[in-house]
Chain A
Amino acid sequence: MMSPPKKDNVFRALDRKLGAVAEFTMRQYRTKLSTWVILGVGFIAIFIVVLFYVDSMQQEIEAIDNDGDSMDWDGDGYPTGQERIYGTDPDNPDSHPGTFSPPIAPDPPEKWINEDDFDWDLSARGDTTVGYDDDGDCRLSDSTQSQKDNNRNNVECDIILDYNEMMGVWAEPDSDRLVDEDPDEEKYAKEAIHRAFLLAIGKMGFVFLLGIFLPLFLATGLIREEMDNSTMHFMLAKPIARRDIFLGRIVGYLGIVWPYIIAMGLVVGIISGFAGPGDSFFRFADLGMWMAIIFATMLATLVYGMLFCALGTLWKRGIVLALPFAAWELGMAILSFGAPSASILRFSVIGWSLNIIDAASLVVWPNMALFINMGMWGGGHGAGGYWDNSLEGAGALSAFASDTGLGISPIATIVVSTFVLLFQAAVLWLVGSAIFKGKEIE
């Protein structure tokens, strides 16, 4: 009995023509030295940043005794904080817990540095009271009740958090005196710098640098170089629509670029997962961020690939046409840090790609804004007010983090941004193939 001929399904059909063009393109790029130079330069650029990050994670951040209670002012060997807890007089050398029965041994002074860390739940929303005076310099002081409640919410020794829904910003924490005033600088800074690094390398390193420069050098010539080398004649003499040649070339280029992005993302993700701060030996939750970074970069290379390939088809020096686009996208990237809801960002590719990373950061690290606010406040002491007190890392994190600007939930933002980027790619594909179709080739 004869077996019936196999029916063409989508994959078999793709395998025939589109697959052949894509495979051809991948093999062609693999044999070119320039491809490896470009990928190598991208690797070096990313890894220099990673080295700086790993180095900063190794560095010790000086622990500051913000409230001075590690000092032994009366010279009895007991730090001020310990004496305060036991109710002895920190200013009298004869009054200390060593006179108790049984006597209490003196604490080493380090125990009273960073002893009053943030006692906040980062899931707090507006108008809540948080904080606990661990070292008792508020609770146990002999101040009056109203002195212990500067913020006048009838709760002694707490901090009021106020979230302005309209503006979408946190106000400076309104704290009673000496509550959470001696935070752990290192713990906060490491976490903040780690998050800032992920956002910075994700946005500028992956989406911007790799996302624009890989397509700029690898996609602009996809059609143009074949036309200039007059090797396009072989392909055009076959029964395949130019629209499909265009698509097949893009698929082939993605076959080089996407595995590279995935590999880079995973390698940097694993390094930062091990080097990053935290109690567990690996930061598994961060993998969500890396998936978003990889995904956003893949979409960016798709859209820019279509765009630059179309520009290359349009003009011999398509790279000249592509540069203003790259400059525009850089401007939009910078704008998105400061004004993530600016409507002009909707007319960019990078705005939508960065939305995906920002949205993922809100899923992985809920209430990022409060975390930044916490570090900016930094314990509430110091002379210069809100900004001057900020803990190390808070400024960097606040520069690279932004909300998604769409005013919808993070998951919805990721879905909408993905669809917009795919739509942009489809439109650019049609525009690019229309340009290619109208081209006369000598």
Chain B
Amino acid sequence: MMPDLQQVGEGQTQQWAPNVTAPVVLLENVSKTYGKIHALSEITLALSGGVTGILGTNGAGKSTLFNLLMGKLKPSSGKVKLFGTDPWKNPAPYARVGFVPEHEKMHDWMTAHGFVSLFARLNGLTREEAKSEADRVLNFVGLTDVAHKQLGRYSKGMRQRVKIAHALVNDPELIVLDEPLQGCDPLARTTIMNVIRELGKMGRTVLVSSHILHEIERITEQIVILHNGRLLALGNLHAIREKMDNIPHTISIGCENPKELAKDIINNDAVYGISFPSGDNLQIQTHNLNEVHRELPALIVDNGHKVSSIDNPDDDLESILNYLTGGLTR
């Protein structure tokens, strides 16, 4: 009847202690079905430490997997454990978890500092602790100077960084980021990737989902590939990528003057084709994605091009899936 004053979670009267021998994230034969639709089938996975990329096309089950981990969905069968505790039954493990949701909606009327510090209090911090913690994490993601601006005035990339900052409160051991790079401009992308890599170096367990292979590739080599709700591959991306290089790829660049940019890019050996789908867009065909991605940033900066986006359309992942499934996905 009484509210949970200790507020460590359901029915607990003592401070929750993680199971030190258990992996940070553990899924055992986890399935999630909606009627006849299998959003996830028979996933078994144990992760501790380092950055892991969760790759999959839209609808592959990445968000379902994260929602199971974050206690928002109840598994249809199997076990989900965070630090050895079932998050659906007990929210206590979230004291050690930070979550960056995929959804764009935020509380636009709050300032970044107000948002982060208020939600930090849900971690059990007092007002003063929460405020200094908010200062710390906003500094970590590089938003100190705009911390007192309303979220409604933030760009997409800044909002993503606020979400990441809010997830870093209380120095969590597990950080789950659902599509953190989606819709960000190149600069924000680089910043966010650096933050994620930094967290990995600090020994945190980080899960990052994406449907774009090259984003993940720039962050980590340890990947999990989901396809149609199944776990298709798990392990080092490098080995797979090497065999993929001779498959043709497309890169789409949004910029002010595509023709000028094309002149500079065509000199690159890895590029074998260029097309202009619209007035402010440029598409490059290449056999060697790695090299293009390595050269492109410098090329853009050196020649002073104004670029608004760099996208690898889905066919990167499609092709790796195609490769992994032996053509069965098409």
Which residues does A use to contact B, with CB under 8 Å?
A: 10, 12-21, 23-24, 27-28, 31, 229-231, 233-244, 247, 426, 430, 440-442
Contacts and interface: CB of A to CB of B under 8 A. Distances in A.
Given A233-B72, A244-B3, A20 B91 contact: no
B9 interface: yes
B46 interface: no
B122 A239 contact: yes
Nearest to B97: A237
Interface stretch (B102-110, B221-229, B231-239, B270-278): B102-110
24 contacts: A12-B126, A15-B121, A15-B126, A17-B7, A20-B121, A27-B110, A31-B109, A229-B105, A231-B103, A233-B101, A233-B103, A234-B119, A235-B119, A237-B94, A238-B119, A238-B122, A239-B8, A239-B91, A239-B95, A241-B4, A241-B9, A440-B67, A440-B73, A440-B74
Nearest to B74: A440
Interface of B: 1, 3-10, 16, 63, 67, 70-74, 91-95, 97-99, 101, 103, 105-107, 109-110, 118-119, 121-127, 166-167
B125 A236 contact: no
Contacts of A430: 1
A241 B91 contact: yes
Given A16-B121, A240-B9, A441-B67, 16 more contacts: A16-B7, A16-B124, A16-B125, A17-B121, A31-B109, A230-B101, A233-B70, A233-B99, A237-B94, A238-B91, A238-B122, A239-B9, A239-B93, A239-B95, A239-B122, A244-B7
A245 to B, nearest CB: 9
B70 A230 contact: no
Contacts of A239: 7-9, 16, 91-95, 122-124
Among B5, B8, B63, B126, max chain A CB count under 10 A is at B5
Main secondary structure of the interface of A (DSSP, over half): helix
Contacts of B70: 233, 236-237
A183 B105 CA distance: 69
Contacts of A24: 118
Contacts of B8: 239
A28 B121 contact: no
Contacts of B110: 27
A426 B3 CA distance: 11
B97 A13 contact: no
A28 B107 contact: yes
Contacts of A440: 67, 72-74
B1 A21 contact: no
A235 B107 CA distance: 12
Contacts of B119: 20, 234-235, 238
B72 A441 contact: yes
In order of increasing CB-CB distance, the 5 nearest A-B pairs are A20-B121, A237-B99, A238-B122, A230-B103, A233-B101
Contacts of B6: 13
Contacts of B73: 440-442
Nearest to A31: B109
A237 B167 CA distance: 9
Contacts of B5: 10, 13-14
A240 B1 contact: no
A17 B119 CA distance: 9
